[in-house]
Amino acid sequence: MPKPVPDTEESMNECRKFCGPCPSFKPNQLNEFEPHALFCSRGPSTKPRDQIENKGCSCFGCGLFSKYELEKGFFCMPWEQK
Q: Where are the domains of the chain?
A: 9-67
- What is the model's pTM? 0.90
Q: Measuring CA to CA, which residue among 8, 5, 10, 9 is closest to residue 59?
A: 5
Residue 65 and residue 62: Cα distance in Å, rounded?
5
Tell whether the torsion through CA atoms of 56, 58, 61 and 62 is positive or negative.
Answer: negative
Cα–Cα distance list, 62 to 8, 12, 49, 68 (Å): 15, 11, 24, 10
pLDDT digits (tens, 9 = 90+) for 8-65: 999 999 999 988 899 999 999 999 999 999 999 999 999 999 999 999 999 999 999 9
